[in-house]
Amino acid sequence: TDGRQSHARFRVATFRTAERTGPAEGTLRRVADARPSRRAHPHTSHHHRAAQKAKMKVTSLSLWKWNGDNVEPTCLGRAEDVTEFGYFQRPSVREMLTFISRTIVKRTQPGQRQSVEQDAYLVHVSNRSGLVAIAVMDKEYPSRSAFCVLGKMCDDYVDKVVGEGWRVVTEDDQRGDALLATAIARYQDPMEADKILKIQRELDETKVVLHKTIDSVLARGEKLDNLVDKSTDLSLASQMFYKQAKKQNQCCTMM
């Protein structure tokens, strides 16, 4: 074990593919907490809060235009933080995050909010009159704070980027990327999201539907394997990556 990691606690979700190495092969290791263990003194709440925050991670933020049940949603901007994945696996991870987000967004009706639980992650999504914000986060990230972030994403995108012009976008658009790149860095700290709460003063009391798996979001008769095969978000390498992980029955995957 590397000396720098000898005192570290790891909570690892692992994707195993073939033993060969390559852009979408080898072992993909998602380190959710690779920081040295912090034993908080019983009378030192500051250290306790720091240790709790160290466990939280925002992996992906994206904005979408919902196009109805039968048409794929249009991406209006996205940002990912995949630094905790292996370098060669990052392209496939980004594609998987886009695919997961598009799949869930399409199945979230206007006015609906959902959270999808998947292993170490929670995927939070909010459809506000067709403008949809979605985030992939660690389970430790407070859901209340997560939905504040989604609301702020929508507000800032409309106010600072395109106004109501998003309604006429017909192809995936990158104009929201810079806004979300700033947001994903800022909201790694849930306290930043809590500041939004204090400004808004009013909470959206819309019921959040919690799903235990991505499969439970799909319509009757739909299968994730078929969606993977048809997806234009996934390269052939990423499709093989998904299939190898499933074939080896890995328990700790995003899919």
93, pLDDT greater than 80:
yes
Strands 121-128 and 131-138: antiparallel
The SS3 call for residue 230 is: helix
Checking phi first, is residue 189 left (phi over 0); if not, alpha (psi -120 to 50) or beta?
beta
Segment 235-255, tens digit of pLDDT: 777 777 677 766 665 544 554
Question: Is the model more confident about 236 or about 169?
Answer: 169
The SS3 call for residue 165 is: helix
Burial category of 143 from C-beta neighbours within 10 Å (exposed 0-12, middle 13-18, buried 19 and up): middle
Q: What is the pLDDT of residue 191?
A: 87
Segment 22-64, tens digit of pLDDT: 333 332 233 333 333 333 444 444 444 554 555 689 999 999 9
- Number of neighbours of residue 91 by Cβ within 10 angstroms: 17
Q: What is the pLDDT of residue 56?
A: 83
Instruction: Please report where in the chains the tokens 């299939």 appear, as a residue.
Output: 243
**What sections of the chain are H helices per DSSP?**
45-54, 90-106, 143-157, 177-186, 190-200, 224-230, 236-247
Q: What is the pLDDT of residue 229?
A: 72
Segment 200-218, tens digit of pLDDT: 555 555 667 776 676 677 6
Evaluate whether 227 touches 242 at the Cβ level (below 8 Å).
no
Q: What is the pLDDT of residue 128?
A: 96
